[in-house]
Amino acid sequence: MSLFLGPMRQHIPGKKELTEKSELLHLMPKKEVYIPLVAGRTLDFDILVQEGDTVSVGTKLAETKSGFYVPIYSSVSGTYKGIVKRMHNSLRPQNHMVIECDFKQTKVQSFAPLDWQSATREECVDFVKNAGIVGLGGAGFPTYVKYMKPDGVDYVLINAVECEPYITADYRSVMDDAQDLVTGAKIMKKMAEAKTVYICIKESHPDLIEKVKSALTDAAGVEVYPVPDVYPMGWERVLVREVLHKEYGGLPAEAGAIIGNASSAIAIAKAFEKGEAITQKNLTVSGECVKDPHNVCVPVGMPVSEIIQACGGYTQDTVRLISGGPMMGKTIVNDMFVVDRAMNALTVLPAANDDAIACLRCGKCSDHCPSGLQPVRITAALKANDVDEMSKRGVMSCIECGMCTYICPSHIDVTENVRKAKRIVMLKKK
């Protein structure tokens, strides 16, 4: 069944009115930030400061020892107190660098700006690498890696779709920094040696479309591309199908495209023009169980508990706190974790009720799966502990978008079943 003719995608209630028009609320921690020493799967870092050192906003604190290069910069000014292990939103305890705030927010230029128009493509890519630009809408993958060998890439798609319910952080960022978005798009076009950059925005956001179009001065080859307001339109494979009408196997580059997040494009512009590293994060705090939903701007490493308090606290004693949105986010058992660079939302919902009934064998989960999988078959293989069948059914192609759980009339958490199956298959491969 074609993704664009059948029910494999669906409009779902956005609940975005809770925060969409709110002004950005700037917050500071009460005492300390805890900056995660995590870069994707890399946990091994060289620490560049000593305990007791005074640091400023933008001071380089650490850099990866192996794998892809990722530097980490201080998000506050104050005193470096050392390393502690605490819970991370990956659901694992990780090392965090502790900075005690002096509340002056003294800034230093993290690196010298670069005139991207006169620089070579290679110089621009190297600059993005050393600036520590990472994807700000997903796994935090280092941006420079996508541009190292852009052979055959004709298009860059900038994802400003934000298809998850409740989340409006990118909407707010683009409304406030449309010119930076366009500048970032131009730089990405140069690094990819692409013919066209499409800034993809939901057609249900005419105000955002107009805002970006008004910033497209002297921006040859950069266009706004309105896309349908359906889920999961923000997934890169769906975006490539919608915009370019192409399929690919492993990476979007096979379809001649590089995908980037809108907030990442804004960060690229600020790095080149101002020498600013990623030290602050815009995120949405929303849901029925937080008293004052808001878009907030916080230092990386700020405790989530303090952010929730600044938004009025919880509306009830027992809630479901999600790092991310309700479809693809992770439920965290408490709020004793911190904001990292890739986090885009904190969603607070009523605690889940275990009201599931037996599977009706209706096939809706299969009809709506954007990856073309059969979650009902994968779940059956999981119950039978048939690892070969799980693998045969393509479980590793699941993107954990949550659509199968959302659409299930039996209220079964199908997505969690498929996650479990993925973990079992991965363990067997090891």
For the stretch 78-103, pLDDT in tens is: 999 999 999 999 888 999 999 999 99
Is the Cβ–Cβ distance between 218 and 183 less than 8 Å?
no
Could you tell me how many residues make up the chain?
430
135-to-129, 177, 190, 324 alpha-carbon distances in Å: 12, 17, 18, 14
pLDDT band at 149 (very low <50, low <70, confident <90, very high): confident
Exposure pattern of 97-107 as b/e (b: 16+ CB <10 Å)? bbbebeeeeee
Q: What is the pLDDT of residue 8?
A: 60
Domain 121-274 has CATH 3.40.50.300: no
pLDDT in tens, 316-346: 999 999 999 999 999 999 999 999 999 999 9
> pLDDT of 214-271, one tens digit each?
999 889 999 999 999 999 999 999 999 999 999 998 899 999 999 999 999 999 999 9
Q: Would you state the structure tokens that stand for residue 364, as one six-digit string?
A: 């809706």
pLDDT at residue 26 tops 80 = yes
Q: Is residue 257 within 8 Å of 188, Cβ to Cβ?
A: no
**Residue 297, annotated ligand binder?**
no
pLDDT in the model for residue 382: 95
Would you say 101 is a known binding-site residue?
A: no
- Coil, helix or strand for 364? helix
Place of tokens 């990819």: 192
Listed residue (261, 272, 197, 269) closest to 235, CA to CA? 261
Q: Is 124 annotated as a binding residue?
A: no
Break the chain into its structural domains and give their ranges: 121-274, 364-429
| CA-to-CA dists, residue 241 to 77, 158, 204, 227, angstroms | 45, 14, 19, 11
Examine the pLDDT at 6 and tell me if it is beyond 80: no
Q: Write down the mean pLDDT value for the chain.
A: 94
- CA nearest to 290, candidates 349, 331, 244: 349
163 belongs to an annotated ligand binding site: no
Which uninterrupted H or E stretch holds 63? Answer: strand 60-64
Q: How far apart are CA 336 and CA 306, in angstroms?
A: 9
Has 404 been labeled as part of a binding site? Answer: yes
Name 189's bridge partners: none
